[in-house]
Amino acid sequence: MAEQWGTFITGGIGFIGVLAGIPVGRWQVRHQARVEHQQWLRGQQQEAHLALLDAWVTCVKEFQEAVDQDQVSVEHHLVETHPGDGWEASENRIWEHTEAISKPVQNALERVALLGPEIVDTACSQLAVALTGLSQATLLEAGGPMWPDTTACQRSWDQAEAARTAFLKACRKATRTAPEPRRQRT
């Protein structure tokens, strides 16, 4: 009879082990999925940050080229040779060009804002304000002989550089900060 109790106790311990193993196994699977998702998200964030920086550099360069003296001369020549209201046509061209320059950065900003983290979201907001400033400065006096307002353009470039620097600092901090292991609730 003592042998049967030993078998019964051994079987009971095994059964309890199986029952305890189910929640432990589920916890391990959830934890592993969470870790893999964080790794994937971190990679996506880094790609989005780099894409935004590339788009930003291109955008600022194109805004500067749009109001470059050579481009202004070309625009004024087009106004003089345009049949009808050349200034209105010039204003339309400048508006369309400004929108075309801004669009890639707006898309990249949305992607970064979607992925986070919060410190980078704040820096993205500064970039969005600077992008609006670049557009407004370029459009100031558009459709008139005083275009472009070089003072406004210079201020917007300075604001754009400050926003870019803040974004770089935020990205550097987000990238260099290791994720902290902590208990997360699902």
Q: Which residue has the higher pLDDT, 17 or 109?
A: 109
Q: Is a pLDDT exceeding 70 seen at residue 164?
A: yes
* 158, 163, 166, 168 alpha-carbon torsion, rounded to 10°: -100
User: For the packed helices 150-176 and 2-66, what is the interaxial angle rounded to 10 degrees?
Assistant: 160
Q: Which residue has the higher pLDDT, 152 or 4?
A: 152
> Tell me, what's the pLDDT at 77?
78
- Location of structure tokens 């009879």: 1
Helix or strand (DSSP H, E) at 102: helix 86-115
Q: Is a pLDDT exceeding 90 seen at residue 84?
A: no
Average pLDDT rounded to a whole number, residues 160-172: 95
Q: How far apart are CA 31 and CA 184, in angstroms?
A: 9
Q: Which domains does the chain carry? A: 47-176 (1.20.120)
Q: How far apart are CA 103 and CA 43, in angstroms?
A: 24
* 5, 8, 11, 13 alpha-carbon torsion, rounded to 10°: -70
pLDDT digits (tens, 9 = 90+) for 14-42: 777 767 777 777 788 788 888 888 888 88
pLDDT digits (tens, 9 = 90+) for 114-131: 988 888 999 999 999 999
